[in-house]
Chains A and B, each alone.
Chain A
Amino acid sequence: MRAFVAATLLLVGCSESSPARVDTRRELLKGLGEQVFLPNYVEFEEDAAAIEATVAALCEDPTEETLAAVRDAWWASRAPWKRNETVAFGPYEPPDAFGSSIDFWPCRPDSVTVVLDGTEPIDSSLLGAAAKGLPPIEYLLYEPDVDVVAESASGSRRCEYLATLSGALASDATGIRRAWDPAEGDFLGELVNAGRGSSEYDSIEMALGDVINRLVYDVEAARNAKLGAPLGNRTEGVPQPGVAESQFSGRSLEDVRDTVRGVEQVCFGADVEDAQSLARYLKGIKRGDLVSALEVAFAASHDALDAIPEPLATAIVEDPASVQAAIDAIGEIQRLIQADVINAMGLMLTFTDADGD
């Protein structure tokens, strides 16, 4: 219908036709997908495979060295995974639900203990979200007051559980990579072809809206859930280390940094030739002022995060001001994206999916 009316109006209003133009926002989404999102998932898939391999080595020969290798692999896997929280939609969410399968947090130690204390063979397909994925692996590797090497050597269920979880994690990591991969599930194609046959997105605004809104959500989650909640912002100022992400490994702050780095990747692009980025798009529409402001905001956020003494569990008690300063600094990134960038990109006209004004 719209196409018919458009054609009619074109005949009325134009004397000659012009070649079709490609929306640079489509190029932006394609570039981000190929240069940022997909490479992050490829890296995560490799890291998940490394976890599986090192877990096998640990269980075969439990030593401090093999344990360190698993911990290193787990630690490394967090970086691309947290960076790609910027695309925690699509395959991340149900029905695929790779997100909750891979990273249901904060960790619920009780859910892990139930499995450890059980007697039935461990079947990953029967485990709930709280009992599988990266957080339970962390707990099994870093459980307080437990000698993981000794316990692994004793033939306890810890190794069986770790092996099951790492295998499922590797499978999920491959699953989410394949779901995005243009050669397979091609969710990237759904984004890029929004409004042009995409079954997920009726318009480029909806696709871009998902990406930009997710950036805002990530930044707010970093402030509210990852820093604010442990600081006690929801509990009258009483610190809550138990709600921190990656609390057992002491990676809480690095997780926040990786979340911020993920947002930064979308804003400034990957370190590749001809990188697509929000900054490039903003400069193209003569909003270089926002790019400069974002650079300042990210630098200030990194400085503020680096100023928090490790680990976060200690900092929220001994130096809460530094944590609050980081929350405020990251808030500046949020303001710039949520207000200025969205306004500059004209993404606010929609009422729902269809109506406005």
Chain B
Amino acid sequence: MATDLVATLRRRLERRVDARGLAAFRILFGLTMALATLRFVLNGWVSELLVAPTYHFTYLGFEWIRPLSHSAMLLVFGAMGLAALSLSLGLFTRVAAAIFFLLFSYAELIDQATYLNHYYLASLLALLLVFVPSESAWSLDAWRRARAGRAPSASVPELAYFVLRAQMAVVYLFAGLAKLDADWLFRAEPLTTWLRSRVESPLLVGLVAEPWVPFAMSWGGALFDLFVVPLLIVRRTRPFAFALAAFFHLTIWLLFPVGVFSFVMLLAITVFFDPSWPARLVGRLVTVSPFTPEPSPRSVRPLAFAMVAAYVAVQVLVPLRFAAYPGTVNWTEQGFRFAWRVMLVEKAGKVEFDVTTESPAARFRVYPREELTPLQLRQMATQPDMIEQYAHHLRQRFDARGYRNVQVRADAWVAFNGRRSQRLIDPAMDLASTERSLAAKSWIMPLESVSRSELLARE
């Protein structure tokens, strides 16, 4: 029975389908990434976010990644933009995808303070484009092959679409599951707070003061994330699902500063369309050849199936890792990143450090504002692993100044989704003595619930 199922699935994924749906995705993705790269440079973020900080919050295991000089970083971004354009044109497609993936990921890994979910998604999609045959149609590579007398294949195995669809399904599913949370569903936070500040938005005219609006948007958002993929998969509901997605993502783009995220999502869900959709669309303007499946399709190598299975398994397991940690993930942020926990938290924090040394005996209060950029300070103040990392940095700084037995304690307070500020870190814990790891951090203080008396006191 199981063997039959696997065989059926394999036959389905080996089936040759129109390559032009994949090509459209490649073209749109490459163009969007090229524009996003240009925007990053023009906004001065290469300097402001990557080069100017004197200290960088590294990712565990990637401590060796460091920014280059400003001019070298501009070259990196120039190469990144060209790679994105090359990817869009389908010129040396896989090499371009690989270069874009490496350079984009490099920039993303320079400083943890700049982490964004949609940057992570862009990295993953670029990585997938290294492996899927997106150059099969509507690419300069295919044109060059044709000119060289090698007939390009206009079809790709459905597996190529499957892996992209699986990626997007993971994003939406985990974004939806993360919203099955008391704050989101029953307090409508953080949307209540955010919408209050969007009172002048033409989209919300007359509605923003209505208390049901953030609740409707919270529940609607959760339902959308949970069900949009099934609706996209079913042919009959697909147009409705896309219209819904367009409404949802454009609304998000209008109301909140999410950069190119909405457009990345909208272009990425085209992978759920019938693979011939671009041909039909273009066919309304010019004559395009209809898709005809190859009579004797090549089989997909078992290694490809194994790689896709492994990739999807990783993509499912990584967002689930939060379950291995105690406490509320949105508070502790253990298992928060790389897990599609999008738009879930509004946090603000204050953190200072007490440094004590035994030899010579001294005590210092360290105000991190003196070293960190505003963005780094804001991000660190609410993220325990960044606070730990900075504490280690302070230990090294004082060690280098000749102090011995340096201890570092954090005075960290965070206000989360409208709650009164609470201690985030155990003030007695010497963070200089901890080891950076993925292990549960026992020194993160538990989140206290919002009491009814606290809510009443607000009136």
A residues near B, CB below 8 A? 2-3, 5-7, 9-10, 12-14, 17-26, 195, 204-205, 213, 217, 220, 224, 228, 233-234, 236-237, 285-290, 292-293, 327, 331, 334-336, 338-340, 342-357
- Assembly CA distance A185 to B280 (angstroms): 58
CB nearest neighbor in B for A209: B374
- Assembly CA distance A17 to B367 (angstroms): 49
Interface residues of B in 14-56 (CB under 8 A from A): 43, 45, 48-49
Contacts of A12 in B (CB 8 A): 247
Query: Across the interface, do A20 and B48 meet the contact criterion of CB distance under 8 Å?
Result: no
- Assembly CA distance A348 to B114 (angstroms): 14
Flag the segment in B144-152, B357-365, B387-395, B433-441 that touches A: B357-365
Query: Across the interface, do B346 and A346 meet the contact criterion of CB distance under 8 Å?
Result: yes
Is the C-beta of B170 less than 8 angstroms from some C-beta in chain A? no
B residues near A, CB below 8 A? 43, 45, 48-49, 114, 116-118, 190, 193-194, 196-197, 199-203, 205-209, 247, 250-251, 253-254, 256-259, 261, 342-343, 346-350, 352, 360, 362-365, 367, 369, 374-375, 378, 381, 413-418, 420-421, 454, 457-459
Query: Across the interface, do A5 and B253 meet the contact criterion of CB distance under 8 Å?
Result: yes
Q: Given A9-B254, A20-B205, A354-B257, do A237 and B347 touch, yes or no (CB 8 Å)?
A: no
Max chain B C-beta neighbours (<10 A), residue from A6, A17, A339, A344: A339
Contacts of B49 in A (CB 8 A): 352
Query: Across the interface, do A340 and B346 meet the contact criterion of CB distance under 8 Å?
Result: no
- Assembly CA distance A233 to B352 (angstroms): 13
Give A300 Cβ to nearest chain B Cβ, in Å. Answer: 16
- Assembly CA distance A293 to B458 (angstroms): 11
Query: Across the interface, do A340 and B347 meet the contact criterion of CB distance under 8 Å?
Result: no
Given A237-B362, A339-B348, output 11 extra A-B contacts at Cβ < 8 Å. A3-B202, A5-B254, A9-B251, A19-B206, A236-B364, A339-B413, A339-B414, A339-B415, A340-B420, A344-B193, A346-B193
Query: Across the interface, do A339 and B364 meet the contact criterion of CB distance under 8 Å?
Result: no
Contacts of B209 in A (CB 8 A): 21
Max chain A C-beta neighbours (<10 A), residue from B49, B250, B343, B365: B365
Query: Across the interface, do A10 and B202 meet the contact criterion of CB distance under 8 Å?
Result: yes
Q: Nearest 4 CB-CB pairs, A to B?
A: A18-B206, A343-B415, A355-B259, A339-B421
Contacts of A3 in B (CB 8 A): 202
- Assembly CA distance A208 to B421 (angstroms): 21
Contacts of B202 in A (CB 8 A): 3, 6-7, 10, 20
Contacts of B48 in A (CB 8 A): 352
Interchain Cβ contacts under 8 Å between A and B, 26 examples? A10-B205, A17-B205, A233-B364, A236-B362, A237-B362, A286-B459, A288-B459, A290-B420, A293-B420, A338-B381, A339-B349, A342-B348, A342-B415, A343-B347, A343-B348, A346-B190, A346-B197, A348-B346, A349-B346, A351-B257, A352-B48, A355-B257, A356-B116, A356-B258, A357-B261, A357-B342
